[in-house]
């Protein structure tokens, strides 16, 4: 269901990220941002789900169009991954997916997607500068930074992944005259929680995700049919990640291995 909203839409997770052309300054800026992004993501989730029981499934969202034509989609989900072996297993799978996101978009959504960036300087700070071509021959671009951190603690391991979009990039500028721009802001947390209120020591791995997608109204004309089609597919990649997790957990249970092995 689409609704119209005139209020200012945005995310407290977003920071204005401006990247210069030279590799050293790019990496330095992102390294300096990482700690604050992870901290901000954890704080946001604590506020967003203050009284939520992690043993219960949650899936809630909203979709709305701004007065300037930009389309927003927000979703919060809490999923119990009962076949997961450990928190680290799910964390590693998520980092793997986002490191190879162009493959997933091409295979599972059908938008032929290419990666424009070539900097793999860190496994915990990933840039995804992508350009996709839809089946209707529309071009959609995005420039997203993924910050990932895993914590090993006595009271329980947990991992946090935060996504935020780049506002300006001298090396990979947005092609506004030919591409629609999609911005993503998200935070994901994976941790264990007790399976029940009984003190039997049994736990379940739980994945919490809050994702905000924004499709910016382009400078060039797009038909209502094609625009609505893109808006309807806004949440599709989030759903494919969930499906991929289920598939990979099942494959591993059969002893067939995991991606990257």
* pLDDT tens track, the chain, 261 positions: 344 343 345 688 999 999 999 999 999 999 999 999 999 999 999 998 867 778 888 889 999 999 999 999 999 999 898 889 999 999 999 998 888 888 878 877 788 999 998 665 688 999 999 999 998 999 999 999 999 999 999 888 999 999 999 999 999 999 999 999 999 999 999 999 887 767 677 889 999 999 999 999 999 999 999 999 999 888 776 777 777 777 777 766 555 454 444
Question: Coil, helix or strand for 225?
Answer: helix
Beta-bridge partners for 159: 150, 190
CA distance 78 to 83: 15
pLDDT of residue 8: 44
The gap from C-alpha 253 to its chain's centroid, in whole angstroms, comes to: 26
- Are 234 and 109 contacting, i.e. CB atoms less than 8 angstroms apart? no
Domain boundaries, the chain: 11-253
CA distance 192 to 10: 30
pLDDT of residue 36: 97
Q: Measuring CA to CA, how many Å separate 214 from each of 9, 82, 96, 182, 209?
A: 10, 32, 24, 6, 16
Beta-bridge partners for 214: 72, 183
- Are 33 and 15 contacting, i.e. CB atoms less than 8 angstroms apart? yes
**Integer Rg of the chain from CA:** 19
- With CA atoms as reference, report the closest residue to 191 among 149, 237, 241, 242: 149
Angle at 11 between CA 142 and CA 42, to 5 degrees: 100
pLDDT of residue 118: 67
CA distance 112 to 32: 33
Q: What is the reported pTM? A: 0.89
pLDDT of residue 254: 53
- With CA atoms as reference, report the closest residue to 212 among 163, 166, 149, 179: 163
Q: Which CATH class is domain 11-253?
A: alpha beta
CA distance 87 to 92: 9
pLDDT of residue 199: 66
């Amino acid at each position: 269901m689409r609704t119209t909203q005139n209020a200012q839409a945005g995310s407290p997770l977003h920071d204005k990220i401006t990247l210069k052309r030279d590799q050293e300054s790019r990496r330095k800026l992102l390294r300096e941002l990482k700690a604050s992004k992870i901290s901000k993501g954890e704080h946001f989730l604590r506020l967003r789900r203050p009284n939520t029981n992690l043993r219960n499934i949650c899936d809630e969202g909203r979709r709305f169009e701004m007065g300037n034509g930009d389309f927003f989609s927000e979703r919060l989900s809490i999923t119990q991954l009962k076949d997961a072996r450990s928190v680290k297993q799910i964390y590693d799978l998520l980092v793997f997916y986002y490191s190879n996101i162009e493959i997933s978009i091409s295979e599972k959504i059908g938008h032929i997607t290419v990666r424009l960036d070539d900097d793999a300087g860190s496994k915990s700070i990933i840039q995804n500068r992508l350009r996709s071509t839809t089946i209707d021959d529309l071009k959609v671009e995005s420039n997203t930074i993924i910050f990932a951190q895993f914590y090993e603690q006595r009271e329980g391991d947990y991992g946090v992944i935060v996504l935020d979009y780049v506002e300006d990039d001298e090396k990979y500028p947005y092609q506004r005259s030919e591409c629609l721009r999609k911005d993503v802001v998200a935070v994901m947390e994976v941790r264990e929680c007790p399976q029940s209120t009984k003190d039997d020591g049994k736990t379940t791995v739980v994945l919490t995700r809050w994702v905000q997608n924004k499709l910016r109204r382009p400078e060039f004309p797009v038909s209502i049919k094609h625009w609505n089609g893109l808006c309807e597919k806004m949440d599709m990649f989030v759903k494919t990640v969930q499906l991929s997790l289920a598939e990979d957990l099942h494959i591993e249970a059969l002893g067939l291995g995991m991606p990257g092995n």
